[in-house]
Amino acid sequence: MYINLASHYIPSNIIPNSYFFDKNGMDDETIVRKSGIKNRRRTSANENVNTMAISAIENGLNNLPYNITEVDLIIGATYSPYDTVGTLAHVVQQKYGISGAIVFSVSSACSSFVNAIEIAEGYFAMGKAKKALIVTSEHNWAYLNESDPISAHLWGDGASAVFLSSQRVTDKDHEVLGVNTEGHATIGRGPNGVCLKPFDGGISMPDGRDVFYNAIKYMSEKTESILEKSGCKLADLNYLIPHQANMRIINKVAETLNFPIEKVVINMIEFGNTGSASSSIGYSQVFGSMQKGELAVVTVFGGGYSSGAMLVRV
């Protein structure tokens, strides 16, 4: 399986930490100390999950090495949908006139991107698809309770688009050497660790300590596991692309792995936690600059709980 293109979209509306002081009493120094976040992005009034997904595709479409109508599998990934019936994947199909494709959306919280990659791998293995498009988009601000001092300052909006094929298309493709996912609903706070209840408080993180501990544990373990299964060593890894939840988590994962923080892709300081889109946005940020032979691991942890990792090589 090969990745042909990765692109992303970030809204232009910047929300600094100072925004929250009048909302819930959280000041800049406290937010930076607790999360590492300085700014986050918020959609404009005419944007939503679907429009961001389209924008992410548009930002890379000129570099796609084939016509988008050749895609025969479209997977949307989000926990913050604009429409739960006409999903973002179906909106993409309609926008680009991709008739005859398999189309659906999935959610496994912030690990959804890697879950979608694994699903595409399965369809390719069964011979039911040859080219796939994964659109990952989160509109956290649509469900955010600004008065919540625990987690309101964490969230940002953003989207990504990743095109895959069962066979190599160009010599610039990234080969997926391995991908795996796992559910962890039986540990810690499980499904209660992070919540999005549209009619009961919106998006929240009732127990950040439990999320913190398990995110470090499983993102570290999944990174080591995917490398070992693929016959690669941590010392050979050029990029580590973790889910962008908290700078303290990212630092601790790098410390646990004894991996140089300079090789870790970080975007949450300016973008906030963009949910399931965060790791795919990070991957998109380095996709075009990765050199022949370089390795990257995307490692994720999501509320629910769930985890996963993907190893790619140019």
Active-site position among 110, 153, 184, 214: 110
**Residue 243 annotated to the active site:** yes
Cβ contact 37:17 at 8 Å = yes
Closest to 125 (Cα-Cα) out of 151, 183, 164:
164
Active-site position among 140, 214, 243, 267: 243
Look up residue 176 and give its two tokens: 């997926």
**Residue 184 annotated to the active site:** no
**Within 10 A of 125 (CB to CB), how many other CB atoms are there?**
11
Q: What's the rounded Cα separation, in Å, for the pair 81 and 84?
A: 6
Residue 99: CA count within 13 A, CB half-sphere: 0
Look up residue 12 and give its two tokens: 């232009």
Closest to 283 (Cα-Cα) out of 224, 245, 250, 242:
242
**Residue 267 annotated to the active site:** no
Q: Which residues pair with 310 in a beta bridge?
A: 179, 298
Q: Which residue has the tokens 């999903």?
A: 87
Cβ contact 109:137 at 8 Å = no
**Residues with catalytic function:** 110, 243, 273
